Amino acid sequence: MLTKEDCLAFCNLDEEMILSIAGRLHLPVVPAAELANFMLQQAGGTQKIKQIVREDITAAETRRDFGHALKLKRALNQFSLSHPDDPAARQRT
């Protein structure tokens, strides 16, 4: 049986990123990890993930949860460094 940690490791995303996706899309963690993994394989997927997390950052700042916003910003920065563009875009060039 797969654990939540197995699913997080499989999609190769930081837990904070998955939790952000899960929260913004109102999904449980495991389906959010599956969706994120799928999105990473699609053209424009990294941009969609970044947008979801940016929306979560804005929501956190709006409710003045600056600690959470900072954690999300760090996770987004790490994601941007490790996923500079879409795999599909690299295959086309």
> pLDDT tens, 34-68?
899 899 888 889 999 999 999 999 999 999 999 99
> What's the structural domain count of the chain?
1
Kindly state whether residue 90 falls inside one of the protein's structural domains.
Answer: no
Residue 69 has pLDDT above 70, yes or no: yes
> Other C-beta atoms within 10 Å of 58: how many?
12
Q: For residue 1, is it within any domain?
A: no
Does residue 38 sit within a domain?
yes
Residue 91 lies in a domain: no
Q: How far apart are CA 29 and CA 55, in angstroms?
A: 18
Q: What range does the domain containing 24 cover?
A: 7-83
Alpha helices in 1-93 (DSSP H): 4-11, 15-25, 29-40, 45-62, 66-82, 87-92
Residue 88 lies in a domain: no
Within a domain: residue 92? no
| Residue 79 domain-assigned (yes or no) | yes
